[in-house]
Chains A and B, each alone.
Chain A
Amino acid sequence: MNYRNLLKGGLAAAMAFTMAACSSNSGSASGSTDSQPSSDGSEKAAFKLGGSGPLTGGAAVYGTAVYNALKIAVDEVNAAGDIQFDLNFQDDAHDPEKAVTAYGVLKDGGMQMSVLTVTSSPGAAVAPLYDEDNIFAITPSGSSLAVIYADAANKAGSYGNCFQMCFTDPNQGSASAVYLKDHADLGTKIAVIFKSDDNYSSGINDTFQAEAKDIGLDVVYTGSFTEDSATDFSVQLTQAKDAGADLIFLPIYYDPASLILTQANGMGYAPTFFGCDGLDGLLTLEGFDTALAEGVYMLTPFSADATDDRTKNFVKKYQDLYGETPNQFAADAYDCVFAIAQALKNGNATPDMSTDELTDILVKQFTSMTYDGVTGESMTWSETGEVTKAPMAVVIKDGVYVGAE
């Protein structure tokens, strides 16, 4: 009897939830999901800014960081008063299929411009949809070429309305190689450990190897691993050590990198570790002894210890609200909002314009303006949507990122 009542209760609760969901869903279609109150309280018309990223699942760290930073940036822009944004950010769980449905939700919500997606493969799946509907989009961290080119392998068929705030994967690989050539003091015999079934990692590795050959870097060992073998790196580390490597290049995400650091430490092997933006997040990883990350270099356009006012203000706000230091994903997202705001302001855009007009204005502005943000000074964008900004290396010292010379 009790069991039956419990069941009925559960069923009723579930139905109530579903109905509530349906009704509030229809509400958000006409209005906003995460609207930020404008500072002066007046009912100013707002630009509808959309976007999606992984708020659940394995890549949730990135999506959450971007979402948090977007909220801060939108708040600040709205408070400044010139431009009003109405943010609608959806979960795509780092899955192209879900990103496409999230795009449907955003479009139903009347999105006028977007921060595209946080991660690359969902970005590649929705970019053609943005192209078809001619909605302007700039991704904070979708670094794959497929996000801005229809034919990424030949770098052809640029969408024209999809832009990137981060470096593309190939650029990171060649920039790393050039940096290591210029800084021979870090190490001259280089080993590479990359993840072969990950498009970010193998993309960087490809261009790194090509550039290394061109400029004459001494790559003594290249090892790879896959998702299924990302738990034990003793083989790769031993081989790198036997090959005499004094620097290990890690174009991978921070999760496997933390294991590599731990295992290298366990076998008493202490080369210099050098990674790309994927290593960002190493210090906030739960259960990882951050002392092991001391002296790790990474190529990233953002360091949270920079002393300019813009970075200091952003880092402080982020720490106050979310209790952790923002990573480079968050910084890129923060810049996306301000870059769009700047372009809208310079182009004299108003929220009642059609998306075609807005896209025209934004594309024209983005390809002609220079933007100063937390991830770099005087950034410019090419017509294909790639960003040009100075790469910068940071090193972890005493548990914080410090700019390397």
Chain B
Amino acid sequence: MMKNFFSKLFDQKLRSRTISYLLVIIAFIILQLMSSTGSLSSLLKSLLVPVCCYTVAAIGLNLNVGFSGELNLGQAGFMSVGAFTGICVSGMLASMITNPVLRLIIAIIAGALIAALMGYIIGIPVLKLQGDYLAIVTLAFGQIIKSIITNMYLGFDENGLHVSFVENKVTLASGGKMLLQGPMGATGTQRIASFAIGIILILCALTIVYNLIYSKSGRAIMGCRDNRIAAESIGINVANTKMLAFIISASLAGAAGALYGLNYSTLVPNKFDFNTSILILVFVVLGGLGNMTGTIISTTVLMLLPELLRSLQDYRMLIYAIVLIVIMLVTNNAFLQAKAAKLRESLIKGKKGAKLS
């Protein structure tokens, strides 16, 4: 029974899912062990949470780009919405809920929900169209969100929330707190994000995405990607199906953003600009479209690389660029791909052979 269960875990269908989970859990255990023995450097410690955040956002984007086949150039915009929602929610609940973990979870859920709502509003007109319109609109969305938050002043005191735009007209009762201060963004945020919650968030994201793509809706999503007309002909509502993938993608970005925002005492709206969207897209493309394990690995490697190259000083960004190009060439090289496929095949054959004997 037990054996049956394990062999099923490594079945053709479920193998990639199991590997993803194992990778995350093993990484977590190793890092926790290192951290408890004190051998984890401050540099790595400071990278743990941001890597988790970008991984979750990249998993979300991969669902949209890899499975739904719609290009999204505004993932950072959704992260931004989630981040500032999370910071505001956490700031407002600070006096009511003293348990930081509970407050963090509420903030993450709030960030995910608001980002999902934004995704829904954008998706209604755009996903009914054929072509690259989603890319254009999400690109604009990212810019609009940046502009709105840059010009937004939000304060909180015992009378409730006070909002003003462009100029700071917010006057607070004593004991009140400014949550957003226009171009300065959020300052003095309580840092309540933790690596454990980050890992749990990644596992949740993986569960959601894998359960979706192995379900009927997931097959419908891929059907719409591969042939819109064929999908329509068998009665699939293409707009709604794509909307499902897009909303989940946006909400994962929102959750990632909330965790990110609560990891730093300061967050400026300019952080989530077009470059950040492209960075997340790079993680997804290098990890492989539709490949969640690859996304996790590529995000981790590409986040760590520039930090580990610090000692090279001026050549750091140059080498980072070269490595990016090399990875792109290697992963797209037909010869190497064939070799890797052969290797995989022989491994599976070996396993099967052992089973038979």
Chain B interfacial residues counted at CB < 8 A: 51
Residues of B within 8 Å of A382, CB to CB, are: none
Assess whether B46 is in contact with A100, with CB atoms less than 8 Å apart: yes
Assess whether A104 is in contact with B271, with CB atoms less than 8 Å apart: no
Assess whether A25 is in contact with B42, with CB atoms less than 8 Å apart: no
Assess whether A146 is in contact with B188, with CB atoms less than 8 Å apart: yes
Residues of B within 8 Å of A146, CB to CB, are: 184, 187-188, 266
Residues of A within 8 Å of B309, CB to CB, are: 17-18, 21
Assess whether B307 is in contact with A121, with CB atoms less than 8 Å apart: no
Complex Cα gap A104–B326 (Å): 29
Assess whether B311 is in contact with A21, with CB atoms less than 8 Å apart: yes
Assess whether B47 is in contact with A101, with CB atoms less than 8 Å apart: yes
CB < 8 Å neighbour of A202 from B182, B268, B310: B182
A270 proximal to B (CB < 8 A): no
Complex Cα gap A104–B166 (Å): 36
B68 proximal to A (CB < 8 A): no
Complex Cα gap A24–B166 (Å): 48
Q: Which of B266-293 contact A (CB under 8 A)?
A: 266-271
Residues of A within 8 Å of B46, CB to CB, are: 100-101, 103-104
A232 proximal to B (CB < 8 A): no
A128 proximal to B (CB < 8 A): yes
Complex Cα gap A124–B267 (Å): 9
Q: Is the interface of B mostly helix, strand, loop or mixed?
A: helix
Q: Which of B151, B269, B308, B310 has the most CB of A within 10 A?
A: B310
Complex Cα gap A28–B307 (Å): 13
Complex Cα gap A228–B146 (Å): 11
Stretch of A74-82, A90-98, A316-324 that contacts chain B? A90-98
Chain A nearest CB, measured from B29 CB (Å): 22
The interface bits of chain A over 189-224 (1 if a CB of B lies within 8 angstroms of the residue's CB, else 0) are 000000011110011001000000000000000000
Chain B nearest CB, measured from A18 CB (Å): 7
Complex Cα gap A101–B316 (Å): 15
Residues of B within 8 Å of A300, CB to CB, are: none
Residues of A within 8 Å of B150, CB to CB, are: 196-197, 226
A152 proximal to B (CB < 8 A): yes
Given contacts A29-B41, A125-B266, contact A11 B330 (CB under 8 A): yes
Assess whether B166 is in contact with A196, with CB atoms less than 8 Å apart: yes
Given contacts A24-B311, A104-B45, contact A151 B188 (CB under 8 A): yes
Q: Is the interface of A mostly helix, strand, loop or mixed?
A: helix
Chain A nearest CB, measured from B234 CB (Å): 44
Assess whether A97 is in contact with B310, with CB atoms less than 8 Å apart: no
Residues of B within 8 Å of A127, CB to CB, are: 265
Chain A nearest CB, measured from B178 CB (Å): 4
Stretch of B128-136, B215-223, B245-253, B317-325 that contacts chain A? B317-325
Assess whether A103 is in contact with B42, with CB atoms less than 8 Å apart: yes
A227 proximal to B (CB < 8 A): yes
Given contacts A4-B335, A95-B271, A197-B270, contact A108 B41 (CB under 8 A): yes
Chain A nearest CB, measured from B272 CB (Å): 11
Complex Cα gap A90–B42 (Å): 14
Assess whether A157 is in contact with B188, with CB atoms less than 8 Å apart: yes
Complex Cα gap A157–B177 (Å): 13
Assess whether B183 is in contact with A7, with CB atoms less than 8 Å apart: no
Residues of A within 8 Å of B305, CB to CB, are: 18
Chain A nearest CB, measured from B355 CB (Å): 35
CB < 8 Å neighbour of B323 from A14, A24, A101, A104: A14
Complex Cα gap A368–B257 (Å): 43
B50 proximal to A (CB < 8 A): yes
Complex Cα gap A146–B187 (Å): 7
Assess whether B310 is in contact with A90, with CB atoms less than 8 Å apart: yes
Q: Which of A1-58 contact B (CB under 8 A)?
A: 4, 7, 10-11, 14, 17-18, 20-22, 24-25, 27-29, 33, 55-56
- Residue pairs across A and B with Cβ atoms less than 8 A apart, 18 shown, are A17-B309, A17-B312, A18-B308, A25-B311, A29-B41, A33-B311, A96-B264, A97-B271, A101-B46, A103-B42, A104-B45, A105-B310, A108-B41, A127-B265, A151-B188, A196-B150, A197-B147, A228-B147
Interface residues of A (CB under 8 A from B): 4, 7, 10-11, 14, 17-18, 20-22, 24-25, 27-29, 33, 55-56, 90-91, 95-97, 100-101, 103-105, 107-108, 121, 124-125, 127-128, 144, 146, 150-153, 157, 196-199, 202-203, 206, 226-228
20 additional A-B pairs beyond A101-B43, A104-B41, A124-B266, beta carbons within 8 Å, are A4-B335, A14-B322, A20-B312, A21-B308, A25-B308, A91-B310, A91-B316, A96-B267, A97-B264, A103-B42, A104-B43, A104-B47, A105-B42, A128-B265, A144-B184, A150-B188, A151-B188, A196-B183, A197-B182, A226-B150
Interface residues of B (CB under 8 A from A): 41-47, 50, 143, 147, 150-151, 166, 168, 177-178, 181-185, 187-188, 191, 264-271, 305, 307-314, 316-317, 319, 322-323, 326, 329-330, 333, 335
